[in-house]
Amino acid sequence: MLVVGGDGPGQRGAGAGAVGQGQAAARGQRREQPGHNRAGAEGITAAGTDKNGRTRTRVLPGVGIAPWLQRTMGLRIREALGVRRSDFRQRADGTRYLHLCWQASENGRELEPLRHRTAGDFRDVPVPDLIWDMVQELADGPLCPGPNGTPYLPYSTAGNRFGRMLDYLGISGVHTHSLRRQFASEALDASPRELANISQVLGHDRIETTLRFYIHPSANAEQRIGAMMNARWTSKPAPASNQA
């Protein structure tokens, strides 16, 4: 658990920094530190005082590794909640990937086929070294178990936990899907020619879906296009010859 001191909005700087991934998703920031996802994953223990000056501790449970999988790999929330340690694999050439076959059911009691897919369908998602190292430290089985004996954390429980932490930290306009959107937007901005591959990693059934939801004109579109034109046409054309 992340321990946060103070009980007023102005005293929550430590926690707000730790949930920087939520702020980055809302503001479009790009650079984040590994600690930014700690609050979403581990939860928050908030120490403060009530109106009578007595010390009070408030525990806000986290969502496990799910926010990391959404933010760094673009998984949907129920895909992240249904991941098991054995789903992380390594090929003979050293390539590390997540063999994603299932997503957690809404009630967390079982696994079901991925969205837009049938039983047996799957997609392999590249795994960053940061995530691979985190997974090696976790126990076998589901990585986001439920609190009341269910194998997987229920969808509503994950959303409520995430929302309560953001409310406490004063962050608005962000939800779990914001993490997936930020991954997709950054990937497409960095490598637009990889549109088809990024669409496949996201699990979209059609590339048009990726275009519709994640490709938008940027605020500085005119400047960017102008710079591209100037980079392409760097020299003046040779003057026309007067000879017949």
* Interstrand relation of 111-113 and 2-5 (parallel, antiparallel or unpaired): unpaired
CB 130 within 8 A of CB 88: no
CA nearest to 68, candidates 150, 152, 129, 112? 129
- Answer yes or no: is 242 within a domain: no
Helix axes 66-73 and 176-190, enclosed angle (nearest 10): 20
Identify which of 138, 145, 100, 104 has the alpha carbon closest to the alpha carbon of residue 121.
100
In a domain, 129, yes or no: no
Domain membership of residue 77 (yes or no) is yes
* Lowest mean pLDDT segment, chosen from 50-54, 71-75, 110-114: 50-54
List of residues 6+ apart from 50 with CB closer than 8 A: 56
Q: Is the residue at 229 inside a domain? A: no
pLDDT, one tens digit per residue, over 151-173 is 999 999 999 999 998 888 888 88
Q: Is residue 91 part of a domain?
A: no
12 domain-assigned: yes
Whether 160 maps to a domain, the answer reads yes
Task: Please state the domain count of the chain.
Answer: 1
Model confidence at 243: pLDDT above 70: no
Structural element, H or E, at residue 90? strand 88-90
Domain with 155 in it: 2-83+143-214
- Write the pLDDT tens digit of every residue in 84-97: 999 999 999 999 99
Q: At what angle do helices 20-27 and 176-190 cross, to 10 degrees?
A: 60
- The answer as to whether 49 is a domain residue is yes
Q: Can you give the pLDDT at residue 229?
A: 87
